[in-house]
Amino acid sequence: MENSPGSVERPAETDPRFALMDHAMGYLFSAALRAAAALGVADHLSTGPRPVAELAEAVGADPLNLHRMLRLLATRGIFVEDDEGRFALTPAAELLRGDVPGSFRSAVLMLTDKTFWQPAGELEEAVRTGTSPFERLFGMPFFDHFARDADTAAVFHVGMAEMSDPENPLVAWAYDFPASATVVDLGGGHGGLLLAVLREHPGLRGVLFEQPHVLQKHRLGELGADDRWELVPGDFFTGAPPGDVYLIKRILHDWDDEQCVRILRHCRRAVSDHGRVLVVDAVIPPGNDPDPGKVIDLLMMSSLTGRERTRAEFDALFTAAGFRLTGVIPTGTRLSIVEGIPVT
Ligand SMILES: C[S@@+](CC[C@H](N)C(=O)[O-])C[C@H]1O[C@@H](n2cnc3c(N)ncnc32)[C@H](O)[C@@H]1O
C-alpha cells in the first residue's frame, strides 16, 4: 500500500523527504570545509591532537562554534574527535595544511571561492536563460576577473595547480607519447602537466602556452638543468604555437562549442602533419550513475560558458575543427584523454 505523507507505515528513514532535507542542506558541508581551510585549523594540529579551546585560541575562533564546525567535518573523515574531546588530523585533514607536499588547501579555497559559490547560488538563472550569471555578479568574464591583480590571480591559478597535481603524473603515464616530439600545453596554467610529461618522457620537448600573467608563476624551473621547455605567452583564441602534440587539459570544458572550435582550429593550423590533439577532460557517460563530471559541469554552467561533454559531443567539436576522434583513453583519474588526429 502506498504511504501518504505523514503515514507511519513505512520506517521514517526511507521517507524521501528526509533525503530531500539532507540534499537541501548539502552546501553546509562545503561551507564548513571552506571555513576550516580558511582558518588554517589543520596547520595548528600538525603536532598532534588538541582540545578545542586550545585550538580555538590558536586559530582565533570561538570555541563552541569551532567545535560544531569540526564535528560535522568529522562525520566524513575530515578531522577526528577522540574520547577526551581533542581533535586530530586524518589523512584528508592533513592535506588541508598549507605546508605539506600534496597540500589541497588552495584547491579547496578555489573550489569554494565566491566566484564559484555565488553564481552557483543563482543556478536557476543559468538554467532559465542558458547563460551564466557570472558577469552580472562580478562585472566581467571569469578569466578577466582572475587577471585583475596578483592576489586574485593566485586564488584561481594556485588552487587550479593544486587540483591538477594528483592528476598530472597519471595523465602523463596513461598516454603512449611519441619518442620525440614537441608537446604544447595549451592553457597549461603553471605547467604542472607539462612538468609531469617531460619527467616521464625524456625524448620530448615542451611549450607552455598561457596568458602572460599566469606564466610569471610557472613551475618548469623544477626541472633544474633540464631545459627541454620554453614559455610562449599568448591567447588561444587568436593562435597556437607550432607543435606535434597539443595537451588541452580542462580547457574546452570552460568554453561553449563555438569557442572550442575556434581554439581547436588554431591547433589544426599549427599542428604538424603526424601530430595530434589530446583533450583531457571529463567524458560524461550515459545513464544515471553518479559521476564527478556531472558535478563540475554545474560549475562550468554557473561561472563559465562551458560544459562537460559526452564522447559524441567531443566528436562533433573535432569534426568541426578538422580533426578525427581516434580514441578515448582512461587515465585512472576523473579525466580521460580524447585523442584527435588532423584530417587532411
Ligand atoms: C581551468 S584552467 C586549466 C589549467 C591547466 N590546463 C590544468 O588543467 O590545470 C584554464 C586555463 O586556461 C587559461 N586561459 C584562459 N583563457 C586563455 C586564453 N585566452 N589564452 C590562453 N590561456 C587561457 C587560464 O589562464 C587557465 O590557466
Pocket test for ligand 1, best of 160, 184, 299, 335 (most atoms within 8 A of CB): 160
Q: Is 253 one of the catalytic residues?
A: yes
Q: Is residue 285 a contact partner of residue 115, using CB atoms and an 8 Å limit?
A: no
pLDDT tens digits, 195-254: 999 999 999 999 999 999 999 999 999 999 999 999 999 999 999 999 999 999 999 999
State CA 277 to chain mean position distance: 20
C-alpha to C-alpha distances, 103 to 99, 202, 207, 242, 286, nearest whole angstrom: 7, 27, 26, 35, 33
> What pLDDT score does 225 carry?
97
- The answer, yes or no, to whether residue 10 has pLDDT greater than 80, is no
**Nine-digit cell string for 100:** 605539506
Q: Is residue 155 a contact partner of residue 146, using CB atoms and an 8 Å limit?
A: yes
> What pLDDT score does 13 carry?
75
Relative to the CA of 164, which ligand 1 atom is closest? 9
pLDDT tens digits, 27-60: 999 999 999 999 999 999 999 999 999 999 999 9
Task: Name the residue with the closest Cα to ligand 1, atom 18.
Answer: 235
Domains of the chain, CATH where assigned = 13-102 (1.10.10.10), 165-287+304-342 (3.40.50.150)
Q: What percent of the chain has pLDDT over 90?
A: 96
What residues contact residue 244 under an 8 Å CB cut-off, 6+ apart?
178, 181, 182, 183, 271, 272, 274, 275, 276
Paired with 280 in beta bridges are 249, 337
CA of 52 to the centre of ligand 1 (A): 41
Q: Is 226 in the pocket of ligand 1 (CB under 6 A)?
A: no
The backbone torsions φ and ψ at residue 15, rounded to the nearest 5 degrees and listed phi first, read -65, 120
Q: Is 189 in the pocket of ligand 1 (CB under 6 A)?
A: yes
User: How far is it, in rounded angstroms, from Cα 78 to Cα 89?
Assistant: 7
User: How far is it, in rounded angstroms, from Cα 145 to Cα 135?
Assistant: 9
Tell me 15's DSSP state.
S
**Nine-digit cell string for 318:** 573535432
User: How far is it, in rounded angstroms, from Cα 278 to Cα 172?
Assistant: 11
What residues contact residue 63 under an 8 Å CB cut-off, 6+ apart?
52, 53, 56
Mean pLDDT of the chain: 96
Marked catalytic residue, from 67, 218, 253, 266: 253
Q: Is the dihedral of CA 293, 296, 300, 301 positive or negative?
A: positive
